[in-house]
């Protein structure tokens, strides 16, 4: 039997059909449903919970969409104060992993594409970072699936990535990777932080050059909300060498004798011969 459209009318009048919150609601002759005060309160609380959850999700989505969840891009000087004591060890870890890769894979390097090489070196770096972080106070290693990161004193997070000449990294199409690239803390990473301690997200990047294939360049890169480098901290090999200051060449020293004229010998023609 079809029930006519119902307009829920909340009432605590004694003439209401029921005051039991567990009794099935029956439509009245006018198409309304009368419920008691207890039921009314339960219904209101139920819909209030629904609206709270919905509005929370809506606000969360709007905030994410406008980048408000982006973590603070702290200045380079603060990064150097916190991470500076670890830079020598980080460079040695990356260099050691790269040397291990070349030694183990040299016979098959010509069969590997660039993506396979970068992935293998990254795995070797991550393995060494895990061992190193366990013995160093203030540094923590975390991994969830394929997502790995190290945390420095809970407010600096770094992921290991191979970078190109523009200090950009390859970003997978997953939501977490895209958020990280915009310096927005993914949910999987945020759970590892102490509550109320916002973090700045970094890339610990490396790259090799033809001039020095055995010594990879290493740097920290901090992106902004537009997924562009806000600042770059070279640890080794990336800053170009300073330009040499050469004195401008002056006129040749003539020894104080003034101008000299040199007579060039002329060829003799056959007729003159």
Q: Around Cβ 177, how many Cβ atoms within 10 Å?
A: 16
Tens of pLDDT along 59-86?
Answer: 333 334 433 455 578 999 999 999 999 9
| Arithmetic mean of pLDDT, 161-166 | 91
- Rounded to whole angstroms, the Cα distance separating 68 from 62 reads 9
Terminal Cα-to-Cα distance of the chain (whole angstroms): 134
| pTM of the predicted structure, to 2 decimals | 0.62
Are 95 and 193 in the same domain? yes
| Arithmetic mean of pLDDT, 264-271 | 58
**Which of 12-16, 131-135, 142-146 is the least confident region?**
12-16
Identify the helix (H) or strand (E) that includes residue 160. Answer: strand 156-162
| pLDDT number for residue 41 | 56
Are 172 and 195 in the same domain? yes
- Closest of 164, 154, 100 to residue 127, by C-alpha: 100
Residue 262 lies in a domain: no
- Rounded to whole angstroms, the Cα distance separating 238 from 228 reads 18
Q: What are the phi and psi torsion angles at 132 (to 5°)?
A: -65, -45
Residue 26 lies in a domain: yes
Q: Are 128 and 93 in contact (CB under 8 A)?
A: yes
**Which of 44-58, 97-111, 171-185, 231-245 is the least confident region?**
44-58
Q: What are the phi and psi torsion angles at 269 (to 5°)?
A: -80, 165
Q: 13 lies in which domain range?
A: 7-65
Query: What's the mean pLDDT when you consider all of the chain?
Result: 73
| pLDDT number for residue 173 | 87
Task: Say which residue the tokens 């090799």 belong to.
Answer: 208
| Arithmetic mean of pLDDT, 246-252 | 50
Residue 264 lies in a domain: no
- Pair of tokens at residue 209: 């050059």
Are 40 and 86 in the same domain? no
- Rounded to whole angstroms, the Cα distance separating 166 from 217 reads 13
In residues, how long is the chain? 273
Q: How many structural domains are present in the chain?
A: 2
| pLDDT number for residue 57 | 33
Are 12 and 146 in the same domain? no
- Rounded to whole angstroms, the Cα distance separating 179 from 201 reads 10
- Rounded to whole angstroms, the Cα distance separating 122 from 149 reads 12
Tens of pLDDT along 204-225?
Answer: 999 988 777 788 999 999 999 9
Residue 204 lies in a domain: yes
Identify the helix (H) or strand (E) that includes residue 131. Answer: helix 114-134
- Closest of 12, 37, 34, 16 to residue 25, by C-alpha: 34
Angle of CA points 135, 232, 206, to nearest 5°: 60
Residue 247 lies in a domain: no
Residue 254 lies in a domain: no
């Amino acid at each position: 039997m079809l029930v006519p459209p119902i307009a829920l009318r909340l009432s605590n009048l004694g003439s209401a059909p029921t005051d039991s919150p567990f009794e099935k609601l029956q439509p009245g002759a006018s198409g309304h449903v009368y419920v008691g005060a207890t039921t009314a309160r339960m219904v209101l609380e139920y819909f209030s919970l629904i609206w709270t959850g919905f509005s929370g999700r809506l606000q969360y989505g709007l905030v994410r969409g406008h980048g408000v969840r982006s973590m603070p891009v702290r200045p380079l000087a603060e990064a150097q104060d916190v991470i500076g004591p670890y830079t020598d060890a980080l460079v040695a870890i990356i260099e050691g992993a790269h040397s291990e890769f070349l030694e183990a894979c040299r016979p098959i390097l010509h069969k590997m594409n660039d993506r396979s090489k970068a992935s293998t070196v990254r795995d070797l770096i991550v393995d060494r970072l895990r061992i190193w972080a366990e013995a160093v106070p203030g540094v923590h290693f975390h991994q969830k699936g394929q997502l790995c990161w190290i945390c420095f004193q809970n407010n600096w997070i770094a992921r290991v990535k191979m970078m190109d000449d523009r200090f950009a990294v390859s970003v997978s199409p997953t939501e977490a990777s895209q958020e990280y690239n915009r310096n927005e803390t993914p949910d999987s990473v945020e759970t590892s932080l102490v509550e109320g301690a916002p973090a700045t997200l970094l890339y610990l990047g490396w790259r090799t050059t033809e001039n020095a294939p055995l010594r990879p360049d290493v740097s920290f890169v901090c992106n902004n909300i537009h997924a562009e480098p806000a600042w770059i901290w070279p640890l080794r090999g990336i800053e170009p060498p300073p330009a040499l200051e050469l004195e401008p060449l002056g006129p040749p020293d003539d020894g104080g004798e003034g101008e000299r004229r040199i007579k060039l010998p002329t060829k003799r023609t056959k007729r003159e011969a």
